[in-house]
Amino acid sequence: MKCPYCNTEMMTGVLKSGRYIQFQEIENGKKKEVAKSYMGGAKMEGCLCPQCKKIIVDISLLEQPPTR
């Protein structure tokens, strides 16, 4: 996936948290930690832009969004 901000090829990986929120790149079946910060308890697949440090993830809504 290309970054929609700078068009750099994004890393595919997993955004997860335990003690930290981490981003692990998955390359050839191996995971490599590339970023982390504080928060707690979830795991989501997504893409990280190494150039502008943006992460794109899909997240399920708990409720239907309001109609406009």
3-class state of residue 25 by DSSP: strand
1 touches Zn ion (CB under 5 A): no
Which of positions 5-24 make contact with Zn ion (CB under 5 A)? Answer: 5-6, 8
- The Cα 7–Cα 51 span in angstroms is 9
Q: Could you give the angle at the alpha carbon of 34 between the alpha carbons of 29 and 35, nearest 5°? A: 135
How many residues make contact with Zn ion (CB under 5 A)? 7
Q: Which of 12, 27, 51, 57 binds Zn ion (CB under 5 A)?
A: 51
User: Where on the chain is the footprint of Zn ion (CB under 5 A)?
Assistant: 3, 5-6, 8, 49, 51-52
